[in-house]
Amino acid sequence: MREVAGASKAMYFKPIKAAKNKHWSSFLLAATPQSLWTAKPFASGRAQPRFPSVPGAETPLQMNSVLLDHFFPPKEPFRPPPRLRPHKSAPPLTTEEIAPALAKCSPTSAPGPDGIPYSTWKQVYKINPAILLQILSPLLLLGYHPGSLKSSNGVVLDKPGKPSYE
């Protein structure tokens, strides 16, 4: 039964395909510069869909939501630091300790996550060393190291004469 259905299907579609090919060939043989633009859409096939397919999104509004959730996942809620207590044994910070630490930092290095370059911190220290002392002393006294000071930005720079780092 399937063989009969397949044979009758072929007998139906084969002449249609032959007629389409014959018509297309005769159209192209008689083509003029003006009619070639009519033929272009037929030769190009169907246009691609305007929006790419994104799993879980059928409409542009859903696609927007899916892409935002993927590229900008929700952040964890801010947790306040634990209750801080002063360390009585912590020695007080002095400006004489800050100066050598800043001297070790390159003024031309890229800024860290806070966006402030070391050259700025050096200028602040040069103008008024007490400001840095007021900012850093409570952190040292409480033994608190802010999260922003625990991270850094790393950048790989190609060196001349070295192979590619790819």
pLDDT tens digits, 4-59: 888 888 889 999 999 988 988 888 888 888 777 777 777 777 766 665 677 878 88
Is residue 125 a part of any domain in this protein? yes
pLDDT at residue 128 is higher than 90: yes
Is residue 24 a part of any domain in this protein? yes
Is residue 115 a part of any domain in this protein? yes
pLDDT at residue 127 is higher than 80: yes
Higher-confidence position of 128 and 152: 128
Nearest C-alpha neighbor of 156 from the set 146, 147, 166, 141: 166
Supply the pLDDT for residue 50: 64
Is residue 43 a part of any domain in this protein? no
Is residue 127 a part of any domain in this protein? yes
Q: If you average pLDDT over residues 56-75, what whole number do you get?
A: 83
The band of 131, judged by pLDDT with boundaries at 50, 70 and 90, is: very high
CA dihedral 124, 128, 133, 135 (to 10 degrees): -50
The band of 165, judged by pLDDT with boundaries at 50, 70 and 90, is: low
CB 158 within 8 A of CB 164: yes
Instruction: Report the percent of the chain where pLDDT is more than 90.
Output: 13
Lowest mean pLDDT among 12-21, 49-58, 86-95, 140-149: 49-58
Structure tokens, 29: 């043989």
Supply the pLDDT for residue 134: 92
C-beta atoms surrounding 17 within 10 Å: 9
Supply the pLDDT for residue 123: 92
C-beta atoms surrounding 142 within 10 Å: 14
Is residue 116 a part of any domain in this protein? yes
One-letter amino acid identity for 87? H
Is residue 142 a part of any domain in this protein? yes
Instruction: Report the percent of the chain where pLDDT is more than 70.
Output: 92
Whose structure tokens read 């190291």? Answer: 145
Is residue 58 a part of any domain in this protein? no
pLDDT at residue 70 is higher than 80: yes
Give the chain's mean pLDDT. Answer: 82
| Count of domains forming the chain | 2
Supply the pLDDT for residue 143: 83
Supply the pLDDT for residue 52: 63
Nearest C-alpha neighbor of 87 from the set 139, 158, 132, 124: 139
Provide the residue range defining the domain that includes 25: 1-33
Return d(Cα 120, Cα 74) in angstroms, integer: 33
Inter-helix orientation angle 95-103/129-142, to 10°: 100
